[in-house]
Amino acid sequence: MTDPASALAPRVQAAIVAALGDEFEGADPVIRPFTLKPKKGQQAVPAPAADLQINAAMALAKRAGRPPREVAQAIVDALREQGIDDLATDLEVAGPGFVNVTLADSWVADAAQDLLADDRVGVPTPPAQVIPLDYSSPNVAKEMHVGHLRTTVVGDSLARTLERLGHRVVRQNHIGDWGTPFGMLVEHLLEVGEASEEAALLETDPNEFYKAANAKYKASKDDSAPDSFAARARKRVTLLQSGDPDTLRIWERLLDRSKAYFNRVYTELGVTLTDADLDGESRYNDELGPICEDLERTGVAEISDGALCVFLDGFTGRDGQPLPVIVRKSDGGYGYATTDIAALRHRSLDLDADRVIYVVGAPQNLHFRMVWAATRKAGWLRDKTEPLHVQIGNVLGTDGKILRTRSGDLVSLQSLVDAAIEKAGTVVAESRPDLDEQQRASIAEAVGVGAIKYADLSVSHDSEYVFDLDRMVALTGNTGPYLQYAAARIRSILRRADAAETPGPIVLTEPAERTLALRLLDYGKVVAEVGESLEPHRLAAYLFDLAQAFTGFYEQCPVLKAEPAEVKASRLALCALTLRVLVDGLSLLGISAPEEM
């Protein structure tokens, strides 16, 4: 790890052993960023007087049988004894037993210099894991709505980040492509004809196709004639389930058109999912019967009110009654949970997963916890497999309610993206009247999509947020376009620099340079944290901080006009490094950084 805390940690551990004895081997050095609370009556936090704080003394004092301040002093003495000048210029015992650490400028400069030479800009490679990642997962013949936008965007960022950390991510787009509605959908497709305009709706306006099929079904539901639409639709379900070749062929046509629709959205959003990542519900269809038989035979499941149920410890309904996973309904049909048990069994046993991650709306949390417990009870979950639900919160309209259209439908993802690109277009037209139309259009697309994604990613994934286009596309504030703009500005500085000037080596002469360099050193640690916590908003917050540190640097330190030449070369190197970290970080969020803005 390239951050200072990681460099300091082994030295402090050695000092603790030297100061307190061998039994303190491996003690946590408790290194934290230096923080100061504002004094009573004081408004702002004073400028930090140090960089890091070693807090181990307070934790170890009792065990060591010595007062904390004395322990802190002993650690400082041991650090000095070992030699610490290369890393820290100042160590000061403060308060109840903190050690305040001021890093050596030369260490910070050298570490930044090393980072510039590092292809991975400090991103570590922890022990590699196999991680099936279930995300996006829209439903066939249904519009992707704003909820799917967030599971898609957050999931894709996690896929990119985990892959960058060296894990083997198996993308699992668990689309809803099976179940009773497919009877009416197939029958409707047959009736309108595969080549008809109505069928083409599957690719452009799938909700309309679904609604038309559903309307026919509802209208004929009570019609007892054996050839009514509803009767034929019900028969189709049976045919589909028994694998009738003709029915399957039409179902596949339906699927193909839906896939074309999903892929168009993914391409437009720059999402890394392809057909190879499909892990639709239908894939597990053949396993559901045998799974139920197994569960019943081994006594994991039992019949209750005609349904086959798995009862689990710790799951009770609101009425206090046990809440089972129903794996086979009393009519013989299998449900969403049965498919998810099959999918988890596959991911754990066949794919040999270390973590199985579900990026799905928060309301499905109970469903997942029950599916995991049932799969574990059946013995189909490896000990090492850890299932995790990344809970996605709602996207709200400016009225504070779930985003819906005037007619009450959930707002489609496509319409949101279109609106964002349009809005970004007006922003770009204002900021860059000098560019031609085509250039502006391509920037507007990157900015519009970046704005939406960043809005999704900059708040913690489980909290709700208000979808406010005006705020999202603004070039100032904590927005995607602000970060894209910071990157474009650095690009323009580097373009204007003399081609003959090679950036670096990095030397630190001004506080703003030091602040920027220190932020840059933290990048790898932040990416690693996202890989653990599965919280992309930490990376977003870091990048926003970095862009602000860059702004501070740029305001206080001229780059192209800097003198002497060494200072200019160093500042160009800081610019180049900032650009690399910004562009890399944005790419992990799935956001592109246009050359110009």
Considering only residues 186 through 245, tell me which ones interact with ligand ARG, judged by CB under 6 A.
none
Binding part of the chain for ligand ARG, among 137-145, 162-170, 255-263, 492-500 by CB under 6 A, reads 137-145
In the complex, minimum distance from the CB of residue 147 to ligand ARG, in angstroms, rounded to a whole number: 7
Give the residue carrying structure tokens 């022990």: 127
Dist. CA 140–CA 257, nearest whole Å: 9
Q: What is the dihedral of CA 36, 39, 43, 49, to 10 degrees?
A: -30
Distances (CA, A) of 25 to 14, 15, 55, 566: 8, 10, 16, 44
Q: CB nearer to ligand ARG: give 390 or 506.
A: 390
Q: CB nearer to ligand ARG: give 134 or 522.
A: 134
Q: What secondary structure does DSSP assign to 78-116, as a single string?
A: HHHHH--TTTEEEEEEETTTEEEEEE-HHHHHHHHHHHH
Among 176, 450, 524, 590, binds ligand ARG (CB under 6 A): 176
- E strand intervals along 61-216: 88-94, 98-103, 130-134, 168-172
In the complex, minimum distance from the CB of residue 539 to ligand ARG, in angstroms, rounded to a whole number: 24
Q: CB nearer to ligand ARG: give 2 or 172.
A: 172
Binding part of the chain for ligand ARG, among 92-100, 135-143, 198-206, 583-591 by CB under 6 A, reads 135-143
Among 177, 187, 287, 340, binds ligand ARG (CB under 6 A): 340
Q: Mask: binding to ligand ARG, 286-325, rule CB under 6 A, as x and -?
A: ----------------------------------------
Q: CB nearer to ligand ARG: give 374 or 512.
A: 374
In the complex, minimum distance from the CB of residue 288 to ligand ARG, in angstroms, rounded to a whole number: 14
Structure-token pair, residue 455? 């809005």
Q: CB nearer to ligand ARG: give 174 or 377.
A: 174
Question: Which of 417, 550, 428 is closest to 481 using CA atoms?
Answer: 428
Q: CB nearer to ligand ARG: give 367 or 432.
A: 367
Sequence-distant (≥ 6) Cβ neighbours of residue 580 within 8 angstroms: 116, 121
In the complex, minimum distance from the CB of residue 393 to ligand ARG, in angstroms, rounded to a whole number: 14
In the complex, minimum distance from the CB of residue 554 to ligand ARG, in angstroms, rounded to a whole number: 44
DSSP β-bridge partners for residue 357: 133, 388
Full 3-state SS string of 369-399:
HHHHHHHHHCCCCCCCCEEEEEEECCEECCC
Structure-token pair, residue 313? 């410890």
> Residue 466: in which H helix or E strand, if any?
strand 465-466
Handedness of CA 504, 506, 512, 518 (dihedral sign): positive
In the complex, minimum distance from the CB of residue 148 to ligand ARG, in angstroms, rounded to a whole number: 7
Binding part of the chain for ligand ARG, among 15-23, 136-144, 379-387, 431-439 by CB under 6 A, reads 136-144
Dist. CA 181–CA 187, nearest whole Å: 10
> Residue 266: in which H helix or E strand, if any?
helix 245-269
In the complex, minimum distance from the CB of residue 258 to ligand ARG, in angstroms, rounded to a whole number: 12
Q: What is the CA radius of gyration of the chain?
A: 29
Q: Mask: binding to ligand ARG, 115-134, rule CB under 6 A, as x and -?
A: -------------------x
Q: CB nearer to ligand ARG: give 1 or 323.
A: 323
Among 137, 247, 479, 578, binds ligand ARG (CB under 6 A): 137
Considering only residues 27 through 86, tell me which ones interact with ligand ARG, judged by CB under 6 A.
none
Q: What is the dihedral of CA 135, 136, 137, 143, to 10 degrees?
A: 170
In the complex, minimum distance from the CB of residue 326 to ligand ARG, in angstroms, rounded to a whole number: 15
In the complex, minimum distance from the CB of residue 144 to ligand ARG, in angstroms, rounded to a whole number: 9
Q: CB nearer to ligand ARG: give 113 or 137.
A: 137
Among 139, 247, 479, 578, binds ligand ARG (CB under 6 A): 139
Considering only residues 354 through 383, tell me which ones interact with ligand ARG, judged by CB under 6 A.
358, 360
* Binding residues with ligand ARG: total (CB under 6 A): 10
Contact indicator for 113, 504 with CB cutoff of 8 Å: yes
In the complex, minimum distance from the CB of residue 343 to ligand ARG, in angstroms, rounded to a whole number: 6
Q: Does 177 bind ligand ARG (CB under 6 A)?
A: no
Give the residue carrying structure tokens 């000095």: 80
For residue 594, cis peptide bond before it (omega within 30 degrees of 0):
no
Contact indicator for 396, 467 with CB cutoff of 8 Å: yes
Dist. CA 438–CA 449, nearest whole Å: 17
Crossing angle of helices 229-241 and 206-220, in 10° steps, is 110
In the complex, minimum distance from the CB of residue 349 to ligand ARG, in angstroms, rounded to a whole number: 16
Question: Which of 271, 226, 255, 162 is closest to 539 using CA atoms?
Answer: 162
Structure-token pair, residue 250? 């039409």
Q: CB nearer to ligand ARG: give 142 or 188.
A: 142
How would you classify the pairing of strands 355-361 and 386-392? parallel
Among 150, 174, 491, 537, binds ligand ARG (CB under 6 A): 174
Q: CB nearer to ligand ARG: give 158 or 427.
A: 158
In the complex, minimum distance from the CB of residue 160 to ligand ARG, in angstroms, rounded to a whole number: 19
In the complex, minimum distance from the CB of residue 102 to ligand ARG, in angstroms, rounded to a whole number: 50
In the complex, minimum distance from the CB of residue 358 to ligand ARG, in angstroms, rounded to a whole number: 6
Give the residue carrying structure tokens 């510039």: 116
Q: CB nearer to ligand ARG: give 410 or 591.
A: 410
Q: Which residue is nearest to ligand ARG (CB)?
A: 137
Q: CB nearer to ligand ARG: give 390 or 428.
A: 390
SS3 category, 6: helix
Q: CB nearer to ligand ARG: give 139 or 478.
A: 139
In the complex, minimum distance from the CB of residue 385 to ligand ARG, in angstroms, rounded to a whole number: 15
In terms of C-beta density within 10 A (0-12 exposed, 13-18 middle, 19 or more buried), how is residue 222 classed?
A: exposed
Dist. CA 372–CA 389, nearest whole Å: 11
Contact indicator for 203, 264 with CB cutoff of 8 Å: yes
Q: CB nearer to ligand ARG: give 387 or 585.
A: 387
Q: CB nearer to ligand ARG: give 177 or 584.
A: 177
Give the residue carrying structure tokens 């946590």: 28
In the complex, which residues of this chain contact ligand ARG (CB under 6 A)?
134, 137-139, 174, 176, 340, 343, 358, 360
